[in-house]
Chains A and B, each alone.
Chain A
Amino acid sequence: RKEVEQDPGPFNVPEGATVAFNCTYSNSASQSFFWYRQDCRKEPKLLMSVYSSGNEDGRFTAQLNRASQYISLLIRDSKLSDSATYLCVVTEGGGGADGLTFGKGTHLIIQP
């Protein structure tokens, strides 16, 4: 069974702090990895893709560890607007429904 596991949280973090989440996946054949953000009662939106070499976009850094089968998301200097649910997404190629798995999400609350 293909699984993507995330700590559901909530993570309560003071504004300005650094916070990190991990996501583990079960299928070693997984090919593509993404972090999505979902605000309450809104649709998921792509935050960033995750590359083997790691990638950074402003305050956000994503890492992939294929050997241990996990991906991570680091948020530096957190803002109140970062409060959301962060979804880990793993695909296994082919683009079909049987190759896409969403984690259940990690709920982040940034406190003033």
Chain B
Amino acid sequence: DTAVSQTPKYLVTQMGNDKSIKCEQNLGHDTMYWYKQDSKKFLKIMFSYNNKELIINETVPNRFSPKSPDKAHLNLHINSLELGDSAVYFCASSQENQPQHFGDGTRLSIL
């Protein structure tokens, strides 16, 4: 049973398109996150979300928007994709101040 699952695992698309990545966790955690890991392998947090609050890293372009239909899901929508968006995107979940559990990652390639 996968604790944090995200789909798709690979996403290849053209510049300018709009795409979504889905994430689900079955751990009962209160908080979910999205991270971006670029070609230099630096893992950077983009968003965190719990039932009460969405916290956005101010460096994230507003083309990126998280959407949470319920506590177990946090999807990532990306509008007008750019070349620089190519990266691996990881979803994660945790309880407050507890270690995070990561999904397998979505490898996004922009053509």
In the complex, whether B46 has a CB less than 8 A from a CB of chain A is: yes
* Residue numbers in A under 8 Å from B43 (CB-CB): 38, 44, 87, 102, 104-105
A105 touches B41 (CB 8 A): yes
Chain A, 80-101, CB within 8 A of any chain B CB: 85, 87, 91, 93-98, 100-101
- Min Cβ gap A40→B in Å is 9
Partner of A46, one of B33, B53, B99, B103: B99
The yes or no answer to B86 lying at the interface (CB within 8 A) is no
Query: Which chain A residue has the least Cβ–Cβ distance from B90?
Result: A43
Q: How many residues of A contact B (CB 8 A)?
A: 24
| Cα(A46)–Cα(B45), bound, Å | 16
Task: Compute how far the CA of A98 lies from the CA of B49 in the bound complex, rounded to whole angstroms.
Answer: 11
Q: Name A35's closest neighbour in chain B (CB-CB).
A: B99
**What's the tally of chain B residues with a CB closer than 8 Å to chain A?**
30
Q: Indicate whether A31 reaches chain B with its CB closer than 8 angstroms.
A: yes
A46 touching B100, Cβ below 8 Å: yes
Contact of A94 among B45, B96, B104 (CB under 8 A): B96
By a CB distance below 8 angstroms, the chain A residues around B100 are: 46
Q: List, sorted by A's number, 18 A–B pairs whose CB atoms are closer than 8 Å.
A: A42-B104, A44-B90, A44-B102, A46-B101, A87-B43, A94-B96, A95-B96, A95-B97, A96-B48, A96-B53, A96-B55, A97-B45, A97-B55, A97-B57, A100-B48, A101-B45, A104-B40, A104-B41
Residues on B close to A: CB < 8 A?
Answer: 30-31, 33, 40-48, 50, 53, 55-57, 90, 94-105
7 additional A-B pairs beyond A46-B100, A95-B30, A96-B55, beta carbons within 8 Å, are A32-B98, A44-B102, A95-B31, A98-B55, A100-B33, A102-B43, A102-B45
